[in-house]
Amino acid sequence: MKIITIGREFGSGGRELGKRLADILNCEYYDREIITAISESQGLNEEFVESVLENGAYHNFPITYSHSFGAVTIMQHPHTSVFIEQRKVIEKIAQQGKDCVIVGRNADIILKNYKPFNIFVCAEEKWKVKRCIERASADEQLSEKQIIKNMRRIDKNRAMLRSFITDSKWGDPKAYDLTVNSSGWEIKKLCPIIAEFIKYSLDNKTAE
């Protein structure tokens, strides 16, 4: 069984990469299903769950903190239950034993015992802005300034959420098998060679 996790900077095309990799590698892709499972088990609205997960560290920030007791980090957060449930859902996915791709959600850390293949996708800001403008629908056109502001806020939040559960820094290439700069790439064209890299790695990497 192989699990592929994809961390990504906002606007780098990581989600599209994940979907396309799942297609090429013929494995499950988990994204919206995770939100649905959390909202069902917690009796919460899906949009609310999504908002907590994406903006978690910023909602009610003054009462967000992490505290360490020896090796155990306990996250105190007004919506801690949402994050705990997310972890359970991700663990359940892995337990099913199917090959799968999971984008974001610190799945690389949560599932580290399964030795996933971990990818991080980054890009220069101008390329991320370009991608955001291209994929925006007619009713969500933002100025470049607003896009950059959102992008930085979301990525800062992702880095902060990661810091609650691990010492490994969000985006630090030593925490991933492969870090790809998607600047200048069409994700559709980038995918096949990443899929090749993953397959090659599974067959040829000497040790974990």
Placement of tokens 């996250």 in the chain? 75
CB of 181 to a second copy, least distance (A): 5
CB of 188 to a second copy, least distance (A): 10
Q: Which is nearer to a second copy, 53 or 190 (CB)?
A: 190
CB of 196 to a second copy, least distance (A): 6
CB of 93 to a second copy, least distance (A): 24
Spatial neighbors of 75 by CB under 8 A, at least 6 apart, are 66, 83, 164, 165
CB of 183 to a second copy, least distance (A): 8
Placement of tokens 């980090």 in the chain? 73
**Three-state secondary-structure class, residue 24:** helix
Site for a second copy, rule CB under 8 A: 120, 122-124, 171, 173-174, 176-181, 183-186, 189-190, 192-193, 196-197, 200-201, 204-208
Q: Which is nearer to a second copy, 93 or 191 (CB)?
A: 191
Looking only at the bridges linking them, the beta strands covering 178-181 and 28-30 are unpaired
- Calpha distance 199→197 (Å, rounded): 6
Q: Which is nearer to a second copy, 13 or 56 (CB)?
A: 13
CB of 167 to a second copy, least distance (A): 12
Q: Which is nearer to a second copy, 52 or 198 (CB)?
A: 198
Contact 31, 18 (CB under 8 A): yes
Q: Which is nearer to a second copy, 145 or 174 (CB)?
A: 174
Q: Which is nearer to a second copy, 37 or 123 (CB)?
A: 123
- 123-131 long-range contacts, CB within 8 A, separation 24+: 123/9, 123/11, 123/12, 123/13, 123/181, 123/182, 123/183, 124/181, 124/183, 125/151, 126/183, 127/11, 127/12, 127/182, 127/183, 127/184, 128/9, 128/10, 128/11, 128/12, 129/11, 131/11, 131/12, 131/13
